[in-house]
Amino acid sequence: MTRKIQSIRTRMVSIPLERPLITATFPITAIDTVIVDVHTNDGISGLGWVFAFGRGRVRGIQSMIDDIGGLIVGEDAGHIQRCLQKMRNACTFIGHSGAAIIAISPLETALWDIAGKVAGVPLAQLLGGYRDAIEVYASEGLWLNQSIDELQVQAASFVTRGFRGMKMRAGKPNVDDDLARVAAVREAIGPDVKLMVDANQAWDVPTALRFIRNCEEQDLLWLEEPIYHQDYAGMARLASQSSTPLCVGETNYAIEDFRRLCQEGCGHFIMPDLMRTAGISNWMKVAHLAEAFHLPITPHLFMEVSSHQACALPNAVWQEHQPWWEPIWKEPVDFRDGKIHIRQRPGLGVEWNEDAIKEYLV
Ligand SMILES: [Mg+2]
C-alpha cells in the first residue's frame, strides 16, 4: 500500500524567555518557532519545527513552508529522498540557503518521524543505530549579558544538575574581558568538566589568535565559530595555528560547504545544524562526510531530533542541550547522568503539548 502525504499544517508559536539573552550576533527575547505536522492518508503524522529570531522573519519562513509543503502533498510519504529533491529543485531559483532551505527542514524531518512510526522503531535505530544515549553539554546559559558572579553560580548549577560539559559565549567588545570570564567559569567548575566557548563569529583572525594564545590553560574542548562562517581561508589559517580545537559548521548550509570545511582543514569538530542542512538526510550525509575525514561531528541544537542522529553515528560527540522548546513538548527528552537517553518509542518519540501551544500561538 502506498502511504500518501495528505495534508500539512503549520503554526507559529512564540516561546518567551524569562530573561533576554545576548550573543555576539544578536539579542534573543523569545524563541519564535514554526511547528509543522505532516499527515498521511492512513492517519499517521510526523512533526518538525524551525525557528528564527523576529516574528516577521518567522512568518516569512512559515509562508515558505506552506508553499513548499504543497509540492509534496500526494507523494508517497516513504519516498523521503524524492520529496527532498522535489522541494530543493523548487528552490533553485531563489537559492539553496537561507529561508528556502530552512523551510524544507521540518517537512523532511516529519517524513522521517513518520518512517520511524511505520517501522515501529526509534529514529536512532532507523538511521542505523550505534548507541542508546549521547553525552550532552549545557548550552542554555552563560550568555554575554551575565556578570562574572552570575556566570560562576550558573556554571556550578549545571554541574550539580549532572552535566559533564557546558558552553559559554564570548565576543565582548574587549577580548581580555572574554578571557577573564572563561577563567572565572573554569574556576567555578574545576578541571574535570568540559568547557566550550562560542564566539558566534564575532572576531577577526588576529583577535581569535589573541584569545587562543591566552586561553590555553583553560583547557577548552573547543572554540566555536571564532570568525565569519564563509571565511574558509581564515578558518584554515586559524585551525593550523590554534592549540585549542575549533568547532565550525552551524551556519553553513550545503554539503559542498561542509566538504570545504573538511577538505581545507577549517576545524577539528564539525557542527551540522538540522534546519540549515534541510533536515535529517543531508545532516547525516554531512556526518558521513566528516567521518571520511576522520572528524567528529557534534550536533547543533534540535536535541529532540539530533540526539537520535548522534546515537546512529560512531563519529558523533556531545549533543548540545538547549531546552528552548521544552515548554511545547508533552514530555521532555530523557536527560539523566549527563546524557540524553533514546526512548524506545517509534520515530522521534515526542509529541506536542497542545495546551501549551494554544498559549504561545501567534
Ligand atoms: Mg554556536
Residue 58 falls inside a structural domain: yes
Tell me, yes or no, whether 50 and 171 share the same domain.
no
Q: How far is the CA of 268 from the centre of ligand 1 (A)?
A: 15
Backbone angles phi, psi at 290, to 5 degrees: -60, -35
The grid coordinates listed for 235 are 578558518
pLDDT band at 19 (very low <50, low <70, confident <90, very high): confident
Task: Look up the domain containing 96 and give its range.
Answer: 5-120+354-360
Which residues are found with C-beta within 5 Å of the ion, ligand 1?
A: 198, 224
pLDDT at residue 24, rounded to an integer: 73
User: What would the pLDDT profile of 252-297 be if each residue is shown by its tens digit?
Assistant: 999 999 999 999 999 999 999 999 999 999 999 999 999 999 999 9
User: What would the pLDDT profile of 75-128 be if each residue is shown by its tens digit?
Assistant: 999 999 999 999 999 999 999 999 999 999 999 999 999 999 999 999 999 999
Tell me, yes or no, whether 196 and 76 share the same domain.
no
pLDDT at residue 2, rounded to an integer: 86
Closest CA to 106 of 74, 65, 56: 65
Name residue 352's beta-bridge partners.
Answer: 329
Q: What is the CATH number of the domain that holds 109?
A: 3.30.390.10
Tell me, yes or no, whether 223 and 133 share the same domain.
yes
Tell me, yes or no, whether 22 and 135 share the same domain.
no
Q: Is the model's pLDDT at 184 over the cut of 80?
A: yes
pLDDT at residue 23, rounded to an integer: 74
CB atoms within 10 A of CB 150: 13
Q: How far is the CA of 228 from the centre of ligand 1 (A)?
A: 12
Q: How far is the CA of 198 from the centre of ligand 1 (A)?
A: 5
pLDDT band at 31 (very low <50, low <70, confident <90, very high): very high
Q: Is the model's pLDDT at 70 over the cut of 80?
A: yes
Residue 129 falls inside a structural domain: yes
Tell me, yes or no, whether 111 and 20 share the same domain.
yes
At residue 328, the 3 state secondary structure works out as: helix
Q: Which residues, at least 6 apart from 172, have a Cβ–Cβ distance to it below 8 Å?
A: 144, 178, 181
Tell me, yes or no, whether 301 and 229 share the same domain.
yes
Which range (21-25, 130-134, 279-283, 306-310) has the least confidence? 21-25
Q: Is the model's pLDDT at 138 over the cut of 80?
A: yes
Tell me, yes or no, whether 228 and 131 share the same domain.
yes
User: What would the pLDDT profile of 294-329 be if each residue is shown by its tens digit?
Assistant: 999 999 999 999 999 999 999 999 999 999 999 999
pLDDT band at 18 (very low <50, low <70, confident <90, very high): confident
Q: How far is the CA of 309 from the centre of ligand 1 (A)?
A: 19
Residue 348 falls inside a structural domain: no
Residue 14 falls inside a structural domain: yes
Find where cell 547525516 sits: 284
User: What would the pLDDT profile of 188-236 be if each residue is shown by its tens digit?
Assistant: 999 999 999 999 999 999 999 999 999 999 999 999 999 999 999 999 9
Q: What is the CATH number of the domain that holds 132?
A: 3.20.20.120
End-to-end CA separation in angstroms for the chain: 38
In percent, the amount of the chain with pLDDT more than 70 equals: 100
The more confident residue out of 135 and 29 is 135
**pTM (predicted TM-score):** 0.96
Residue 349 falls inside a structural domain: no
Tell me, yes or no, whether 105 and 227 share the same domain.
no
pLDDT at residue 21, rounded to an integer: 81
| Pure H helices in 227-321 | 232-241, 255-263, 280-292, 303-310
Pairing of strands 45-52, 27-40: antiparallel
Q: How far is the CA of 223 from the centre of ligand 1 (A)?
A: 9
Q: How far is the CA of 22 from the centre of ligand 1 (A)?
A: 13
Tell me, yes or no, whether 103 and 29 share the same domain.
yes
Cα separation of 54 and 57, whole Å?
A: 6
Residue 312 falls inside a structural domain: yes
Q: Which residues, at least 6 apart from 231, have a Cβ–Cβ distance to it below 8 Å?
A: none
Residue 347 falls inside a structural domain: no
Residue 233 falls inside a structural domain: yes
For the chain, what is the mean pLDDT? 96
Tell me, yes or no, whether 210 and 329 share the same domain.
yes
The grid coordinates listed for 195 are 568547557
Tell me, yes or no, whether 79 and 211 share the same domain.
no
pLDDT at residue 22, rounded to an integer: 78
Q: How many structural domains compose the chain?
A: 2
Tell me, yes or no, whether 166 and 261 share the same domain.
yes
